């Protein structure tokens, strides 16, 4: 909210500089996010008085104005049509900084010769001073201003731009802020006196008010003014509205807005003669009920919305926008002025649903107090009589079914100390609360504090404590460290598993990426070599911001592949990326499952290109090696079996099996999928479900003693059918006693091996925990292994 | 040691000059008297061996020298093997002498080998001189994402203050994201957190599901499930229904903190946050606590640090205020504790929430938040 300092100063004397005031307000919860210094740049612009106006010798539309500046006189050329001798004007000397009337840019005034006449200075419009867009007319100042004085003294101001938190609708007003400043500075408050003559017959003879939905309308007040004349509002009011960011419309509308800014209570003016049956009924809308609002648009309402209706139908959407039918226009002569209080949630719902945010809506939905209605109504009525003429009906309409008294709240010094960690005396506490308008009754070390009528945010002791803390200042509260006992220690958690995993992958040369959790069906469908509907369908966002962020990802692959494709545009060589994040798997009538997944992709050169060579490409076995290394580090025993994922190459993929469960996959991307992601190279991918893995990584490791006796190493090269897998052979070798390690060191098929066969070469380590092995012992076992391999796989020793 | 060494030392001169030896001591006389052709032969072997050794200048020659004078087929070996055929007396003198010669030659061989090795090493060092300015053979280097790094750094700070790291669901019930945090339906605070709702079909209206708008939802769950003493930090992704621009992304990270126990005060909260700032932003960075409003705390706090660019003087980054907002905090609202089954009359609690992206943006001068989630290696490799 924007608040002109001069307006604020009408209610409270302020001795602080604007910067200090801004700082005090900010620290106490009302953030001043900006300050606009109007007139700060008005050096060399002073009040002048026109003493003579003569025609320009060379131009019909221009004239020569002689201006008295107190110490001297200047004659300048002007094109303004509204000048009269005797007017007091804003006179800019040469060197003054002004806004160009046409381009809107700042410029510095120079001496100029206009159609042959030298002009040393100029008389200014509002636009040239930067206070409005009016460039047609020269500013004419009130007669009371002193000739020669700086113009900033009269037209200058500082506009505070405040960020009001949602709990303080009372601060959405100049008086509300004045009350804050009172508490912060101790300066007294001087609120406007309101009195006017009520000269025509009582209001209740001219209008009846009925609240049919008291839950949504706790209070409805109104006044009636007849014989008004619709016109422009006075300049000073227009200027204040403009400074606060509101557009002047007409005297009546401007007064309702002005009083809203002043008190924080929205008002609405009806054309009294358009109220049919002279009845106001505050009721819920019927489903589908329509009303044309002030902006000329027909709105369809629902039963959750509140309307102000007359005998025949809705005349306004309560608290949100008036109806076109009862709008105050040029012909209006009688005003029914509404000052009501509406249920905040209902107004919020209506404003949000109809997409009609407004200044009024913003105040109602934050919950202003019903007690604000009367003071605001009275002041507005008075201003209407003063400015638009007319006579007020006797009395006011005031239906108040939802009266809620402010209740006293008990606060003790010990409560304050317990929450803040610092002791304040009862005197200090009471003095703060009193300065904020609380009614305080002291009982020993406690105080019963009743909130002032304008505060709607104070309900319990902690609310009072915040008031005390923020006015005394948060900087007065000491800083201490927690001294309570520590919580129970953490169990082994997914947090640690994730950290270990990330660090391992970074160590293997992978770059971590984080991608959006939201994706599109189009992106997910790229993972399918043959199109088919996704099963299950991923979770959908009901209100997606963009089409590419509509579904919650059921895997990490799609985003990683897109990332690879994007990086390929500027990146040669090997790319190794991983993401560790959640996927979202829908469940019936419940939140989705959100397992933590690891997905890595690798593609391109195995080693960074270097002067020492390295032309190999990353393959399936690099991906598998990364997985094995990671699982080894995590202390997990795993095996691999043929995989069956459609997105991967049918023959180059393996499922990761841990404790009988498939917890991951490794493989080469299906060529059609690569193509769909516009990747023209072989991509390998691995995935592990870390959430499922977690329980398997917990458990104590048991120390294995370092062998006391030497080992014997033997190489064994066999030839078997090409279909026999390494794992089958290895399992057999590992099954023999004394065998402690089996390492495959060569796989060969080609010239020296018969067709359809392959050679596998193993390095087998034999060791006994009890004695030094002899060659004979090892020979025996090796012979047994060979016989077994021969009988199982028809293996032959490779010569 | 032996006969010959004694001889040598008592003569005070070198054995290889035998012509002056014999006249000097009786012992030598004895030796001389026993000087047989075999001894003479040994003397010759020794002297020619030593002479040859002097002119050797590489290991290869040395090796062939060794074969010739000390090898299995060398004269010296032959003599040593023939000792058995000699008489006892002769065997004693010739044997002793022959072994002395062998020992001497072996010593000289070893000395020469050392010398030649040194020479060889120096030569090979010259030969194998490398250009140490050539780049090292590249080892693969990966980087943690800057957001991960920041989160780990923050978690470490709070863990060192006794906090535990916990997580909660990203797809959340309206209840934990709003209701349990004192933000009922139609509360204006909901407007400040534009929400992405989950399309949960026809039953959605009853129990709305959403993408959590803040990690404070995890605090709501913790209050409900854990018993004091509670000290947790809750990092994670959060979502807003917002268009992307240089300062907004629909997904970003937060970390919330929560402490619940008897006797926790706002002074403890200030101390904890101050300590965080001290460690994260440095000892000298000024910190400001001001009143702010969040529905789930009372009193509410906003913590700001002195602007990192202008150090408080006012600049574009800090909107001329000199301060940069870092986090929101406060004493947990009694309503929120009560809602989760913790008695606010018995327990006090504080809470805080930090937006993550801003921190690396400030630290590294990153001007576009979207870079974090664009997966561009040219960006990610910088951290």
Interface membership of A415 toward B (CB under 8 Å): no
Q: What is the DSSP string of A65-119?
A: EEEE-SS-EEEEEE--SS--TT-EEEEEPTT-EEE-TTT--EEE---EEETTEEE
pLDDT at B10 over 60: no
Give residue B34's pLDDT: 52
Q: Is A707 exposed, middle or buried (0-12, 13-18, 19+ CB in 10 A)?
A: exposed
The parent domain of residue A439 ranges over 409-476
Residues A442 and A571 in one domain: no
Residues A535 and A629 in one domain: yes
Residues A742 and A758 in one domain: yes
Give residue A274's pLDDT: 95
Joined together, the tokens standing for residue B118 give 């040194």
Chain A partners of B333 at a C-beta cutoff of 8 Å? Answer: 462
Q: A91, A149 in Cβ contact below 8 A? A: no
Residues A498 and A423 in one domain: no
Does the distance separating the beta carbons of A27 and B291 come in below 8 Å? yes
Give residue B206's pLDDT: 66
Residues A211 and A357 in one domain: yes
Q: Classify residue A722: in a domain, yes or no.
A: yes
What average pLDDT does the segment B359-370 reach?
94
Q: What is the pLDDT of residues A380-399, one digit of tens each?
A: 999 999 999 999 999 999 99
Give residue B300's pLDDT: 97
Q: B37, B68 in Cβ contact below 8 A? A: no
Q: What is the pLDDT of residues A165-215, one digit of tens each?
A: 999 999 999 999 999 999 999 999 999 889 999 989 999 999 999 999 999
Q: Is the peptide bond prior to A536 cis by the omega test (within 30 degrees of 0)?
A: yes
- ipTM score: 0.89
> What dihedral angle (degrees, nearest 10) is formed by the CA atoms of A373, A379, A381, A386?
-170
Residue in A with minimal Cα distance to B172: A591
* Helix, strand, coil % in chain A, rounded to nearest 5: 30, 30, 40
Chains A, B: CB contacts within 8 A come to 264
- Domain of A172, CATH number, reads 3.30.56.10
Q: What is the pLDDT of residues A438-477, one digit of tens each?
A: 999 999 889 999 999 999 999 999 999 999 999 999 999 9
Coil/strand/helix, residue A613: coil
Joined together, the tokens standing for residue B139 give 């080892």
Interface membership of A588 toward B (CB under 8 Å): no
| Rounded distance between C-alpha atoms, residue A76 and residue A65, angstroms | 5
Distance from CA of B123 to the nearest CA of A (A): 25
| Rounded distance between C-alpha atoms, residue A182 and residue A452, angstroms | 14
Longest dimension (CA), chain B: 129
Q: What is the pLDDT of residues A611-625, one digit of tens each?
A: 776 788 999 999 999
Does the distance separating the beta carbons of B162 and A486 come in below 8 Å? yes
Q: A208, A280 in Cβ contact below 8 A? A: yes
pLDDT at B30 over 80: no
Q: A646, A566 in Cβ contact below 8 A? A: no
* DSSP 8-state code for residue A331: T
Residues A424 and A532 in one domain: no
Q: A68, A48 in Cβ contact below 8 A? A: yes
Q: What is the DSSP string of B199-242?
A: E-GGGGGTS-EEE-SSTHHHHHHHHHH--SSEEEEEEEEEE-S-
Give residue B14's pLDDT: 42
Q: When comparing pLDDT for A698 and A576, which is higher? A: A576
Does the distance separating the beta carbons of A608 and B270 come in below 8 Å? no
What residue ranges in B84-131 does DSSP mark as E strands? none
Residue with tokens 């082994």: A492
Query: What does CATH list as the number for B148-380?
Result: 3.30.930.10
Q: Classify residue A489: in a domain, yes or no.
A: no
Chain A partners of B259 at a C-beta cutoff of 8 Å? Answer: 482, 484
Give the least confident one: A223-227, A486-490, A672-676, B11-15: B11-15
Q: At what angle do helices B75-82 and B37-55 cross, to 10 degrees?
A: 150
Confidence of residue B13 (pLDDT cuts 50, 70, 90): very low
- Domain of A104, CATH number, reads 2.40.50.140
Distance from CA of A492 to the nearest CA of B (A): 11
Residue from B290, B314, B356 whose CB has the most chain A CBs within 10 Å, to mutate: B290
Q: What is the pLDDT of residues B298-316, one digit of tens each?
A: 999 999 999 988 988 888 8
pLDDT at B291 over 90: yes
| Rounded distance between C-alpha atoms, residue A55 and residue A65, angstroms | 9
Interface membership of A436 toward B (CB under 8 Å): no
pLDDT at B25 over 60: no
Q: Classify residue A390: in a domain, yes or no.
A: yes
Q: What is the pLDDT of residues B242-263, one digit of tens each?
A: 999 999 999 999 999 999 999 9
Contacts of A407 (CB under 8 A, 6+ apart): A450
Confidence of residue B35 (pLDDT cuts 50, 70, 90): low
Q: Report CA-CA distances (Å) from A68 to A42, A43, A144, A516, A679.
A: 19, 18, 15, 69, 81
- Domain of A514, CATH number, reads 3.30.930.10
Residues A227 and A313 in one domain: yes
Joined together, the tokens standing for residue A155 give 């037209």
Q: Report CA-CA distances (Å) from B271 to A420, A471, B29, B277.
A: 12, 20, 101, 10
Q: B75, B46 in Cβ contact below 8 A? A: no
Closest CA to A788 of A728, A727, A738: A728
| Letter string b/e over residues B64-75, b meaning 16 or more CB atoms within 10 A of that residue's CB | ebbeebeeeebe
Give residue A120's pLDDT: 86
Does the distance separating the beta carbons of A505 and B148 come in below 8 Å? no
Q: What is the pLDDT of residues B209-234, one digit of tens each?
A: 999 999 999 999 999 999 999 999 99
Q: Is B381 exposed, middle or buried (0-12, 13-18, 19+ CB in 10 A)?
A: exposed
Q: Is the peptide bond prior to B229 cis by the omega test (within 30 degrees of 0)?
A: yes
- Domain of A384, CATH number, reads 3.50.40.10
Residues A33 and A57 in one domain: no
| Rounded distance between C-alpha atoms, residue A486 and residue B313, angstroms | 41
What average pLDDT does the segment B1-9 reach?
45
Confidence of residue A752 (pLDDT cuts 50, 70, 90): confident
| Rounded distance between C-alpha atoms, residue A376 and residue A169, angstroms | 15
What average pLDDT does the segment A238-257 reach?
94
Chain A partners of B267 at a C-beta cutoff of 8 Å? Answer: 420-422, 477-480
Nearest-Å Rg of the Cα atoms of chain B is: 45
Q: Classify residue A435: in a domain, yes or no.
A: yes
Q: When comparing pLDDT for A132 and A454, which is higher? A: A454
In 10 A of CB A656, how many CB atoms? 25
Confidence of residue B378 (pLDDT cuts 50, 70, 90): very high
Q: Residue A286, CB half-sphere, CA atoms under 13 Å: how many? A: 5
Does the distance separating the beta carbons of B242 and A576 come in below 8 Å? no
Q: What are phi and psi of A594, to 5 degrees?
A: -130, 65
| Rounded distance between C-alpha atoms, residue A661 and residue A426, angstroms | 67
Confidence of residue B338 (pLDDT cuts 50, 70, 90): very high
- B-facing residues of A in 497-536 (CB < 8 A) are 499, 502-503, 505-518
| Rounded distance between C-alpha atoms, residue A106 and residue A99, angstroms | 4
Does the distance separating the beta carbons of B265 and A545 come in below 8 Å? no
Q: Residue A648, CB half-sphere, CA atoms under 13 Å: how many? A: 21
Give residue A144's pLDDT: 83
Interface membership of A591 toward B (CB under 8 Å): yes
Does the distance separating the beta carbons of B142 and A507 come in below 8 Å? yes
pLDDT at A629 over 70: yes
Residues A537 and A637 in one domain: yes
Joined together, the tokens standing for residue A616 give 């190999």
| Rounded distance between C-alpha atoms, residue A390 and residue A387, angstroms | 9
- Domains in chain A, number: 6
Residue in A with minimal Cα distance to B324: A33
pLDDT at B29 over 90: no
Give residue B8's pLDDT: 43
Residue-range domain boundaries for chain B: 34-127, 148-380
Sort strands A208-211 and A279-284 into parallel, antiparallel or unpaired: parallel
Give residue A40's pLDDT: 83
Give residue B81's pLDDT: 87
* DSSP 8-state code for residue B291: E
- B230 — alpha (psi -120 to 50), left (phi > 0) or beta? beta
Residues A116 and A172 in one domain: no
Joined together, the tokens standing for residue B132 give 């140490």
Q: Is the peptide bond prior to B299 cis by the omega test (within 30 degrees of 0)?
A: yes
Q: A49, A67 in Cβ contact below 8 A? A: yes
Contacts of A368 (CB under 8 A, 6+ apart): A169, A170, A264, A265, A341, A456
Residue from B267, B288, B327, B333 whose CB has the most chain A CBs within 10 Å, to mutate: B267
Q: What is the pLDDT of residues B112-158, one digit of tens each?
A: 999 999 988 888 888 888 888 888 888 888 999 999 999 999 999 99
Give residue A542's pLDDT: 92
Chain B partners of A538 at a C-beta cutoff of 8 Å? Answer: none
* DSSP 8-state code for residue A466: H
Average pLDDT, chain B: 88
Give residue B192's pLDDT: 82
């Amino acid at each position: 909210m924007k608040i002109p300092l001069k307006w604020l100063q009408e209610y409270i004397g302020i001795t602080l500089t604007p910067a200090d005031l801004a700082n005090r307000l900010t620290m106490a919860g009302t953030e001043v996010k900006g300050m606009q210094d109007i007139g700060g740049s008005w050096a060399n612009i002073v009040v002048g008085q026109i003493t003579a106006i003569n025609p320009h010798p060379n131009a019909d539309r221009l004239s020569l104005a002689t201006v008295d500046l107190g110490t001297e006189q200047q004659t300048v050329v002007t094109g303004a049509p509204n000048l009269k001798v005797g007017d007091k004007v804003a006179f800019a000397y040469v060197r003054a900084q002004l806004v160009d009337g046409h381009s809107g840019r700042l410029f510095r005034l120079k001496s100029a010769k206009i159609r042959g006449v030298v002009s040393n200075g100029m008389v200014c419009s509002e636009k040239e001073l930067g206070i409005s867009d009016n460039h047609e007319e020269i500013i004419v100042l009130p007669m009371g201003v002193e000739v020669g004085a700086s113009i900033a003294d009269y037209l200058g101001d500082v506009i505070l731009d405040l960020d009001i938190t949602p709990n303080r609708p009372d601060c959405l007003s100049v008086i509300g802020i004045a009350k804050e400043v009172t508490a912060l500075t101790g300066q007294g408050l001087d609120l406007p006196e309101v009195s006017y003559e009520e000269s025509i017959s009582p209001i209740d003879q001219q209008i009846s008010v009925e609240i049919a939905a008291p839950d949504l309308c706790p209070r409805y007040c109104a006044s009636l003014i007849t014989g008004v004349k619709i016109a422009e509002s006075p300049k000073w009011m227009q200027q204040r509205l403009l400074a606060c960011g509101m557009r002047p419309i007409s005297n009546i509308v401007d007064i309702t807005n002005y009083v809203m800014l002043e008190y924080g209570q929205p008002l609405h003016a009806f054309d009294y003669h358009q109220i049919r049956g002279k009845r106001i009924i505050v009721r819920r809308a019927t489903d589908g009920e329509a009303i044309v609002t002030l902006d000329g648009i027909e709105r369809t309402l629902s039963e959750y919305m509140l309307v102000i209706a007359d005998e025949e139908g809705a005349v306004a959407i309560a608290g949100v926008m008036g109806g076109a039918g009862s709008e105050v226009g040029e012909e209006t002569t009688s005003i029914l002025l509404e000052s009501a209080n509406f249920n905040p949630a209902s107004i919020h719902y209506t404003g949000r649903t109809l997409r009609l945010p407004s200044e009024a809506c913003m105040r109602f939905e934050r919950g202003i107090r019903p007690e604000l209605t009367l003071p605001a109504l009275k002041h507005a009525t008075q201003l209407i009589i003063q400015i638009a003429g007319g006579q007020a009906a006797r009395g006011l309409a005031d239906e108040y079914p939802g009266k809620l008294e402010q209740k006293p709240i008990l606060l003790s010094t010990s409560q304050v100390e317990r929450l803040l960690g610092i002791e304040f005396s009862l005197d200090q506490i009471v003095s703060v609360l009193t300065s904020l308008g609380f009614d305080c009754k002291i009982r020993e070390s406690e105080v019963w504090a009743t909130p002032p009528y304008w505060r709607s945010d104070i309900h319990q002791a902690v609310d009072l404590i915040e008031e005390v803390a923020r006015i005394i200042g948060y900087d007065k509260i000491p800083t201490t460290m927690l001294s309570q006992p520590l919580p129970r220690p953490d169990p082994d958690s997914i947090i640690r598993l994730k950290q270990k995993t990330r660090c391992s992958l970074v160590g293997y040369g992978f770059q971590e990426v984080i991608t959006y959790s939201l994706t599109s069906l189009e992106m997910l469908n790229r993972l399918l070599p043959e199109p088919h509907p996704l099963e299950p369908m991923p979770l959908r966002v009901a209100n997606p911001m963009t089409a590419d962020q509509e579904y919650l990802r059921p895997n990490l692959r799609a985003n990683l592949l897109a990332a690879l494709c994007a990086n390929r545009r500027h990146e040669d060589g090997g790319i190794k990326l991983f993401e560790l994040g959640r996927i979202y798997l829908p469940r019936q009538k419940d939140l989705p499952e959100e397992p933590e997944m690891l997905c890595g992709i690798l593609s391109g050169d195995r080693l960074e290109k270097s002067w020492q060579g390295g032309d190999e490409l990353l393959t399936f076995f690099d991906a598998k090696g990364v997985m094995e290394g990671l699982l080894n580090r995590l202390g997990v025993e795993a095996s691999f079996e043929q995989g069956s994922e459609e997105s991967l190459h049918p023959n180059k993929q393996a499922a990761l099996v841990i404790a009988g469960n498939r917890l991951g996959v490794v493989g080469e991307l299906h060529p059609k999928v690569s193509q769909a992601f516009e990747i023209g190279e072989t991509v390998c991918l691995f995935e592990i479900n870390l959430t499922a893995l977690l329980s398997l990584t917990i458990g104590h490791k048991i120390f294995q003693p370092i062998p006391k006796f030497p080992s014997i190493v033997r190489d064994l090269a066999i030839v078997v059918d090409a279909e026999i897998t390494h794992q089958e052979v290895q399992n057999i070798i590992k099954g023999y006693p004394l065998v402690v390690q089996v390492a495959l060191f060569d796989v060969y098929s080609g010239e020296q091996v018969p067709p359809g066969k392959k050679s596998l070469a193993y390095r087998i380590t034999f060791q006994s925990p009890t004695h030094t092995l002899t060659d004979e012992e090892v020979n025996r076992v090796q012979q047994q292994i060979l016989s077994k391999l021969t009988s199982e796989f028809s293996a032959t020793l490779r010569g | 040691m032996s006969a010959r060494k004694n001889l040598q030392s008592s003569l005070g001169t070198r054995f290889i000059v035998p012509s002056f030896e014999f006249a000097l001591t009786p012992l030598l006389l004895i030796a001389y008297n026993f000087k047989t052709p075999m001894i003479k032969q040994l003397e010759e072997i020794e002297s020619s061996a030593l002479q040859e050794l002097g002119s050797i200048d590489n290991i290869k020659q040395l090796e062939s020298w060794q074969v010739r004078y000390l090898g299995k087929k060398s004269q010296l070996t032959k003599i040593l093997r023939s000792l058995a055929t000699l008489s006892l007396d002769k065997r004693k003198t010739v044997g002793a002498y022959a072994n002395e010669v062998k020992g001497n030659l072996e010593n000289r061989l070893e000395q020469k080998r050392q010398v030649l090795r040194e020479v060889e090493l120096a030569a090979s060092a010259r030969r194998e001189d490398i250009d140490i300015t050539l780049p090292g053979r590249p080892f693969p280097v990966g980087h943690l994402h800057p957001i991960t790094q920041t989160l780990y750094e923050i978690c470490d700070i709070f863990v060192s203050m006794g906090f535990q790291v916990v997580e909660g669901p990203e797809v959340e019930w309206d209840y934990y994201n709003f209701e349990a945090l004192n933000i009922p339906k139609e509360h204006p605070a909901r407007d400040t957190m534009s929400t992405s709702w989950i399309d949960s079909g026809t039953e959605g209206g009853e129990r709305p599901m959403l993408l959590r708008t803040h990690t404070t939802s995890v605090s709501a769950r913790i209050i409900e499930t854990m018993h004091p003493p509670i000290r947790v930090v809750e990092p994670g992704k959060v979502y807003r229904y917002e268009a992307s621009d240089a300062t907004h992304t629909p997904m970003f990270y937060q970390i919330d903190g929560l402490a619940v126990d008897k006797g926790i005060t706002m002074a403890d909260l200030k101390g904890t946050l101050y300590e965080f700032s001290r460690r994260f932003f440095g000892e000298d960075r000024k910190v400001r606590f001001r009143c702010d409003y969040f529905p789930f705390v009372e009193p509410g706090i906003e913590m700001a640090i002195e602007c990192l660019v202008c150090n408080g003087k006012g600049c574009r980054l800090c909107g001329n205020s000199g301060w940069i907002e870092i986090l929101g905090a406060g004493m947990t609202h009694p309503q929120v504790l009560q809602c989760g089954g913790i008695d606010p009359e018995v327990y006090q609690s504080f809470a805080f929430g930090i937006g993550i992206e801003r921190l690396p943006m400030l630290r590294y001068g990153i001007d576009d938040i979207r870079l974090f989630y664009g997966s561009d290696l040219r960006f990610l490799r910088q951290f």
